[in-house]
Structure 1
Amino acid sequence: MRSPMDNHALPLVLIGGTLCNPRLWQPVLDRLNVSDVRCVTLADATSAAQASRSLLSELPPRFLLAGFSLGAIVALQMVADAPGRIAGLALLSVNPLADAPENAAPRREAVRAARQQGLTNWLSASLWPKYVAPSRVDDQALHDLICLMAEESGLDTLAAQTEIAITRRDNRAALAALACPIIVINGLHDPICTPHHHQRVAQSAPQVKLFTVACAGHFTLLEAPDEVALPLRHWIQECLHA
């Protein structure tokens, strides 16, 4: 017997984070049964509003939407811009707040450092310890996969994505009016998008369901695909029957 997820007409749109590509989603997709998946890599836009406009102009009238980290910021912008087109929303490792103005200079300096040092060297020294739970810091295969995505994405993409982070807006108010299932998934050991950030999202709308992955840091999708796939599977089923 075929699952309803084999046949549904709603595509699942996945928006990756900074220096991420479809490799980010593959371990979880291997655990789901979804036939129509669109993986989005944020590469050209320099604001969440610009990325939202571009995606909404290309996507079908209704879709399920999941965003990770920077992709979740863009997903929230899409919620604000076109709530009626979104049949379900999943936010993973999200900071919903507008960026503090004083963060702009260090963010742009980080891009310059990455250009000087090379993406892998820069990421390994500055971001890797913040990306995963302490128990995974010595996981060389996971480290190499994240660095591979960064190298495949490239420095120009990092520069554009940094501008999205700097100029993002707080779109939590749009969640309260969103008439579809919403889930939020975070890693307990994430110092970038902290449990507090996810609580702020969960408090924004009564229909938000919050799931915390106790063994993961920021990269929940790669650190704990089984634990992430389970609530995503239930969310998809709920969306299809809403």
Structure 2
Amino acid sequence: MSLPLVLLGGTLCDGALWQPLCRHLPPQPMIIPEMSGADSAEQLAAQLLTDLPARFLLVGFSLGALVALEMQAQAAQRIAGLALLAVNPLADAPVNAAGRIALIDRAAKNGMRSVIEQLWPRYVHASRLADRELLGALVTMAERSSVERFRQQTAIALQRRDLRHTLPALQAPLLILNGDSDAICTPEHHHLLVKAAPAARHITLEQCGHFLLLEQPQACARALQTWIKRSELCVSTL
């Protein structure tokens, strides 16, 4: 039986983030946890580990990748494969705090749409900026969230730890996937991650921004399918 695939989404995202990807993956047990209920990646990781199966494959996107890194730091032996998508592994710079808090205030006063529209130019490749359907998908997800959930997710981002030093303890296949034009989690951020985990498979998608799962779901699915097969093969040979 296939191991469950645990999918951790980004800030103001929900299960809809994964739907385009899942259409291109073979049938597999999937778990999409709520990314809320804690004010730090450390707390949320511990909370998720309490509820998840003993062994699983773990995929994290953006904020979800920060929590995935924390989960492998806490329980590497439970993770049969780790995929980090669009991630900045560094601790957040203190200078970012004011801007992040201002976005929470903006959401409370003007609604989630205003937050997404402000961030939109940094979210996708320049060729997708006129894509109103994609923008609408992000707005719809955000509007299903709440200001309190946004506050919790912002606290996770602000308090995250640099956990690159923990990756050598992960005895499982590691995939690092990013867009070449991601202005939020840049190619350089991913190169830093690869330096800490040279055995990882690193794929950069061309003409792709931060929301690679929605911009290029088929390419993401191809990369993840190969990683899933490799991870399950490693488990079967133990």
TM-score by length of 1: 0.95
Hey, what's the Cα distance between the residues in 1 that align with 2:29 and 2:199? 25
Query: 2:180–2:208: 8 Å Cα contact kept in structure 1?
Result: yes
Query: 2:73–2:166: 8 Å Cα contact kept in structure 1?
Result: yes
Query: 2:113–2:143: 8 Å Cα contact kept in structure 1?
Result: yes
Query: 1:94–1:198: 8 Å Cα contact kept in structure 2?
Result: yes
Report matched runs for 1:121-160 at 5 Å: 121-124=114-117, 126-160=118-152
Identity, % of aligned positions: 47
Q: For 2:78, give the aligned amino acid.
A: R
Gaps of 5+ in 2: none
What secondary structure sits across from 2:144 in the alignment?
helix
Query: 2:36–2:44: 8 Å Cα contact kept in structure 1?
Result: no
Query: 2:125–2:181: 8 Å Cα contact kept in structure 1?
Result: yes
Q: Which residue of 1 aligns with 2:161?
A: 169
Is residue 2:194 matched to residue 1:205? no
Give the drift of 1:43: 1.9
Hey, what's the Cα distance between the residues in 1 that align with 2:194 and 2:174? 9
* Aligned counterpart in structure 1 of residue 176 of structure 2, from 181, 184, 194: 184
Q: For 1:14, give the aligned amino acid.
A: L
Hey, what's the Cα distance between the residues in 2 that align with 1:148 and 1:137? 17
Hey, what's the Cα distance between the residues in 2 that align with 1:21 and 1:109? 22
Give the drift of 1:167: 0.3
What secondary structure sits across from 2:59 in the alignment?
strand
Q: Which residue of 1 aligns with 2:58?
A: 65
Gaps of 5+ in 1: 1-6
Hey, what's the Cα distance between the residues in 2 that align with 1:153 and 1:50? 20
Query: 1:215–1:224: 8 Å Cα contact kept in structure 2?
Result: no
Give the drift of 1:121: 1.9
Moved over 4 A (4+): none
Hey, what's the Cα distance between the residues in 2 that align with 1:26 and 1:86? 23
Is residue 2:21 matched to residue 1:31? no
1:126-184 Cα shifts (integer Å, max 9, x gaps)? 20111000000000100000000000112211111000000000011111121000001
Aligned length: 234
Comparing 213-222 and 32-41, the one that deviates more: 32-41
What secondary structure sits across from 1:203 in the alignment?
helix
Over the aligned positions, Cα root-mean-square deviation in angstroms equals 0.9
Is residue 2:236 matched to residue 1:241? no
Q: Which residue of 2 aligns with 1:215?
A: 207
Hey, what's the Cα distance between the residues in 2 that align with 1:68 and 1:235? 15
